[in-house]
Amino acid sequence: MKRSGSNQNQSCVHSSTPISPPPPLPLHSFEVLRRTPLNRAFALVYATAISALLYRHTLSLLSGSATTFFSFSLVSFSLLLSDAVLAFMWVTEQAFRMRPVRRKVFIENLSRVVDEKNFPALDVFICTADPFKEPPLRAINTALSVMAYDYPTDKVSVYVSDDGGSQLTLFSLMEAAKFATHWLPFCKEFRIEERCPDAYFRSTHSCAQTEKMKIMYGMMKEKIESVMERRGGFVNDFISSDHHRQAFNKWTPGFTRQDHPTVIEVLLDSGTDKDVTGRAMPNLVYVSREKSSSWPHHFKAGALNVLLRVSETMSNAPVVLTLDCDMYSNDPRTPLRVLCHLFDPVVAPKLAYIQFPQRFHGIDKHDIYGNEQKHLFQLNPMGSDGSAGPNYVGSGCFFRRRSLFGGPFSFLSSGVLQLQAKPIMSATPSALSHHVASCTFEHATDWGYKMGFRYGSLVEDYYTGYRLQCEGWKSVFCNPNRAAFLGDVPLNLTDALTQNRRWCVGLLEVGFSRYNPITFGIRSMGLLMALNYAHYAYWPIWSIPITIYAIVPQLALINGLSIFPTMWDPWFYLYWFLFLGAYGQDAIEFTLAGSTIQRWWNDQRMWLIRGIGQVASSSYNIDEEAYI
C-alpha cells in the first residue's frame, strides 16, 4: 500500500532497460490505513441495519391503531424523523472512512532536490481582533515563534492584522520586534526546539545561558502588561524613537474600532534590520485595515484579503501561512515539511494548501469539554486526505498564493494587482499599500466571491476551502508527531458552546446557500468529496434527533406507549447492533488515534451537550461574537 508521492510515474520505466537512472529521492509518501477494507465492509452491513430500522419505523407509522392513532403516529413520526436525520449524518460520515491515509515527509531529502536559495518566500498572516479577548502578549508570542522558523530569514515576512485597531497591539509588536533581534539568534545558537518564548520559559529550567533571555522577556512582558493595565494611556512614555511615536499619531480622538483610517507600520525590514549578531531579520509588518461603519468588513475573511493585497505590494511571497493569534508554532521545521509537498512535480500543479491539524495545549487530562475535537481536526481530515484533501480549518494552513486567484487551470496571473517584479520592502509603506487596505477597494470587485478568502459564511475557513476544492484544487493533510502548531482552547463551558454556536450558524449559511454541497458540491467535486463537506454543512441538524430522543421516550413511557422492542423481540438485536456498532467503531477509532477512553467518553458527552445547546440558544448575537 505504500507509495511514494514523487515516484508515482516510475513504474512506467521499462524493466529491461539495463541501466535506469536512480529514482529521484522521495520527498513524501503516504499509506492507506489498514482498517480501510474493514471500514467499507462494516459500512455495508451497517447500512443494511439502518434500512431495516427505517423500515420498522415506517411500518409502525402505518399501522397505528385507531384509538391511540394521534399520539402513536406523532411518536412514530418523530422517531422516524430522528433516525432518518441520524442515518443521513451517518452516510455523510462514511465518506471519511472510505480511504483514510497517513502521510510522511522526508525533510532529509529536501536539500538534494532543491537548494536553499531556491526556497520560495513565505508570508505569514496572523489575525487578531480584540486586545482584551486576545491579549497582545499571545499574539506576539505567535509572531516570534514563526519569525524564528528554521527558514532563510530574509524570505520570511510576518503580517499581523489588527482588526481591533489597537495601540496596545501595535505597541506590543514594536516591543516584540526589539526582543526578536535577541531571541532569533538565541534560538539558533542553542538549537532551541520551542521557539515560542512564553512556552519555552514555562517549560525550561533556567540556567546561566537562558537567564539573560528570560530577564529580557520578563521585562518586555512587564512593560506590555503595564501598558495594558492603563488601557493604552501613556503609551508615549514607553517609546523612545520618534519614528515609532509618529505611528501613534494616527490614533486621533475620532479613532474607534469601527471607524478609523488604515494603519500600516513596517516594524522590521529584512533589507536593513539586523539581529544582534548581524544577520538579517525577517520582515514584520503591522496592518490595521481601514474601517467604516458604512462598509461591510466581512470579519476575518475581510482581514485576510487585506493582508493578501498589502503583502502583495510588499513581499508578495508565493506561499502564505494563515494563523490565529492564539496559535503558536511548536516546530521550527514546519515550512520544510510544506516544501516536501510543494516541490513534488506530480502533486504541486493542483495543490492549493497544506493543512496542519489544530492541536491544543492546556487541555485537562480527560478533556472534559471535548476541546480536542479529534474528529474535526484529526480523524476526518485523514479521511478526506485519501480523496481530494482536507478542508481548511482557519489556522495552521499553508496556501499557494496562486490558488486564491482562480482555478488550477485558469490563466489568471497570481495576484490581482499584477505587480511585475517583486516589490521592495520600504520603511514607509507606499500609497498603494494603503489604498488596497481601504474599505472601498473591494467595492464591485470579485474579492471574496471569486478571489481571495470567501465571504458569505461565519466559517470563512470551511467555506473558502470548499470553494477552492470545487474549482478543482487539491489539499494535503500534514500531521507530524510533534504538533506543528499549538493553540488555546475555550476554558469553560460557556465559551465552548458559544464557539460551537458560531460555527453552526456559519455552516448552515453554506448548507442553505446556492453553493450547498448537495446540489452545487456534487456537481463540482463528485459525490465522495461533496459528502465530506455535507457532513459539516448539515452538522447542526444533529440537535433535532438529540432533542427528540431527550423528550419522546419519557412521554411515551408516561403514556404507556411502547416504542422500543422488548428483549425477546428479534428486532431487539437490530437495536443492539446499531447501538454497539456505532459506539464501538467510534471508540476504537478515537483510541487508535492516540486518545483515551475517558476522553472519548467526554467527547460523547459534549456531543450531546452541544446538540442541546443549539436549541437553547435563541438569544444569540452574531455581531457581538464576531467582534464587530
Ligand X SMILES: O=c1ccn([C@@H]2O[C@H](COP(=O)(O)OP(=O)(O)O[C@H]3O[C@H](CO)[C@@H](O)[C@H](O)[C@H]3O)[C@@H](O)[C@H]2O)c(=O)[nH]1
Active site residues: 163, 461
Q: How far is the CB of 345 from ligand X (least distance, A)?
A: 31
* Binding residue count for ligand X, defined by CB under 6 A: 19
User: Where does this chain touch ligand X (CB under 6 A) — which range of 220-228, 296-304, 447-455, 611-619?
Assistant: 296-304
Interacting span for ligand X (CB under 6 A) from 125-133, 151-159, 184-192, 514-522: 125-133
Does 129 bind ligand X (CB under 6 A)? Our answer is yes
Is 290 near ligand X (CB under 6 A)?
A: no
Q: Which stretch binds ligand X (CB under 6 A): 105-113, 126-134, 263-271, 443-451?
A: 126-134
163 binds ligand X (CB under 6 A): yes
By CB under 6 A, tell whether 397 contacts ligand X: no
CA distance 392 to 146: 20
Among 316, 384, 395, 464, binds ligand X (CB under 6 A): 395
Is the backbone of residue 444 left (phi > 0), alpha (psi -120 to 50) or beta?
A: left
Residues 6+ apart with CB under 8 A from 363: 371, 372, 489
Residue partners of 201: CB distance under 8 A and separation at least 6: 210, 214, 217
CA distances from 283 to 18, 110, 120, 427 (A): 52, 25, 15, 10
Note whether 40 and 98 are within 8 A (CB): yes
State in angstroms the smallest separation of the CB of 487 from ligand X. 7
Bridging pattern class, strands 319-324 and 359-360: unpaired
Distance in angstroms between the alpha carbons of the first and the last residue of the chain:
50
- The reply to whether 324 sits near ligand X by the rule CB under 6 A is yes
596, HSE (Cβ side, Cα atoms, 13 Å): 8
List the beta strands (DSSP E) in 394-492.
Answer: 397-400, 474-477, 485-487
CA distances from 211 to 3, 15, 106, 172, 217 (A): 48, 62, 35, 22, 10
Contacting residue, 459, 497, 505, 525, with ligand X by CB under 6 A:
459
Q: Which stretch binds ligand X (CB under 6 A): 38-46, 220-228, 299-307, 609-617?
A: 299-307
- Residue 309 contacts residue 436 (beta carbons within 8 Å): yes
Q: Does 300 bind ligand X (CB under 6 A)?
A: yes
Round to whole Å and give the CA distance between 179 and 380. Answer: 39
| Residue 314 contacts ligand X per CB under 6 A | no
The C-alpha atoms of residue 523 and residue 510 are separated, in whole angstroms, by 16
Among 29, 60, 181, 499, binds ligand X (CB under 6 A): 499
Query: Going edge to edge, which strands form the sheet with 359-360?
Result: 327-329, 485-487, 359-360
Please say whether the beta carbons of 332 and 98 come within 8 A. Answer: no
- The residue among 185 and 381 lying less far from ligand X, judged by its C-beta, is 381
Q: Closer to ligand X by CB, 161 or 167: give it.
A: 161
Q: Is 300 annotated as a binding residue?
A: yes
Strand partners, 319: 122, 400
Asked whether residue 188 is marked as a ligand-binding residue, the answer is: no
Task: For cell 421516550, name the residue.
Answer: 553
- Contact between 385 and ligand X per CB under 6 A: no
CB atoms within 10 A of CB 604: 15
From the list 128, 283, 355, 543, which residue makes contact with ligand X (rule: CB under 6 A)? 128
| Residues in 342-381 that interact with ligand X by CB under 6 A | 358
Closest separation between CB of residue 51 and ligand X, Å? 35
Q: Tell me if 116 is assigned to a ligand binding site.
A: no
User: Is 223 flagged in the annotation as binding?
Assistant: no
Judged by beta carbon, residue 394 or residue 521, the one nearer ligand X is 394
Chain residue whose CB lies nearest ligand X: 394
418 Rama sector, left if φ>0, alpha if ψ -120 to 50, beta otherwise: left
Cell of 307: 493582508
Q: Is 275 annotated as a binding residue?
A: no
If binding is defined by CB under 6 A, does position 394 make contact with ligand X?
yes
**Using an 8 Å Cβ cutoff, are 406 and 412 in contact?**
yes
Closer residue to ligand X (CB): 116 or 495: 495
Is residue 134 involved in binding ligand X (CB under 6 A)? yes
x/- map, 208-227, ligand X, by CB under 6 A: --------------------
Among 159, 299, 356, 360, indicate the residue that binds ligand X (CB under 6 A). Answer: 299
Q: Which is nearer to ligand X, 333 or 359 (CB)?
A: 359
Our finding on whether 306 is near ligand X (CB under 6 A) is no
Q: Which residues are annotated as a binding site for Mn(2+)?
A: 300, 324
Q: Which residues are annotated as a binding site for UDP-alpha-D-glucose?
A: 133-134, 163
Chain residues that interact with ligand X, rule: CB under 6 A: 127-129, 134, 161, 163, 299-300, 303, 324-325, 358, 394-395, 459, 461, 499, 626-627
